[in-house]
Amino acid sequence: MSRAAILVLAAEEWRQAGQPARALECFQRALDDGGEVSVDPRAGIADTLFELDRPAEARELVDCIKADGGVDPSTALHVAETLLAYGDLGAAHEWATEGIRAGEGGGGIRDALLRTRYRIRVDLGLPEDDLDALLDVSC
């Protein structure tokens, strides 16, 4: 396990402990470290910025992640869930959709993205589509 991955785990623990400022510091250290992680630390930073009532900074960071391209499904799920939690259903839908398309094959992350995307589509009042049909197959 890389140092960056350990820092991300520590950041999540600080968030759970109600210490978002300390969490933000750990996420930033993970990003600076540059080691291998399962989710881009910037996704955690953005989530924490929303928690700290700094939505403009959070959205800017989410835009940066997208602009860098090549978003992996785990990061897409994290960002989609964050945006969903803070009421941006349209952007959450885009991230979930992108995460599904970026993933290959099946797996737990893909299934989580399909479920999240489906819930968002229901909330948006959108009809089922081809990707929603994959949820029926995977369950």
Residue 117 structure tokens: 């995307």
What is the pLDDT, as a whole number, of residue 133?
A: 87
What is the pLDDT, as a whole number, of residue 84?
A: 97
Does the predicted model carry a pTM greater than 0.75?
Answer: yes
Nearest C-alpha neighbor of 73 from the set 132, 105, 119, 113: 113
What is the pLDDT, as a whole number, of residue 135?
A: 82
Domain residue ranges of the chain, discontinuous segments joined by +: 1-69, 72-139
Residue 19 structure tokens: 């210490």
Cα dihedral 55, 4, 105, 135 sign: negative
What is the pLDDT, as a whole number, of residue 103?
A: 78
Three-state SS for 26-46 is: HHHHHHHHCCCCCCCHHHHHH
Per-residue model confidence as pLDDT tens for the chain (139 residues) = 999 999 999 999 999 999 999 999 999 999 999 999 999 999 999 999 999 999 999 999 999 999 998 789 999 999 999 999 999 999 999 999 999 998 765 678 999 999 999 999 999 999 999 999 888 665 5
C-alpha–C-alpha distance, residues 50 and 69, integer Å: 22
Nearest C-alpha neighbor of 47 from the set 27, 68, 67: 27
What is the pLDDT, as a whole number, of residue 68?
A: 93
Residue 43 structure tokens: 């996704």
What is the pLDDT, as a whole number, of residue 71?
A: 86
Q: Write the CATH number of the domain with boundaries 1-69.
A: 1.25.40
